[in-house]
């Protein structure tokens, strides 16, 4: 099985990637932040909104997608938080 994990460099994403790799699955991790290379993990450093061909190909080849990318932080009160949440959680 090929699993794609968006938000793979985040706290939950990292743990899910590790669990999938430990279970012997092939994993493609997509995140805007760099990820540590691991055996069995294909790393894509990309923004999902950039229409990257590698991201498109990864999603098209996936048996399952765990979509964990988003803008967390309910206590975030920076001035642009609404724009970031809309961009990352809706678009």
In 1-91, where do the E strands start and end? 2-6, 26-31, 41-45, 64-67
Model pLDDT, residue 88 = 86
Amino acid 38: pLDDT: 94
Structural domains of the chain, ranges and CATH numbers in brackets? 2-89 (3.40.50.720)
pLDDT by residue (tens digit) across 19-74?
999 999 999 999 999 999 999 999 999 999 999 999 999 999 999 999 999 887 77
pTM of the model: 0.88
| pLDDT value, residue 71 | 83
Nearest to 44 by CA among 13, 9, 70: 9
Report the pLDDT averaged over residues 8-14.
95
**What is d(CA 30, CA 73) in angstroms, rounded to the nearest whole number?**
20
Query: Residue 72: its pLDDT value, please?
Result: 77
């Amino acid at each position: 099985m090929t699993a794609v994990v968006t938000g793979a460099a985040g706290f939950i994403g990292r743990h899910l990637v590790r669990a999938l790799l430990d279970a012997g699955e092939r994993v493609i991790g997509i995140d805007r932040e760099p990820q540590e290379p691991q055996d069995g993990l294909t790393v894509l450093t990309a923004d999902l909104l950039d229409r990257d061909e590698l991201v498109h190909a990864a999603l098209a080849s996936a048996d399952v997608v765990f979509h964990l990318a988003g803008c967390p932080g309910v206590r975030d009160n920076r001035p642009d938080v609404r724009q970031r949440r809309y961009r990352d959680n809706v678009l």
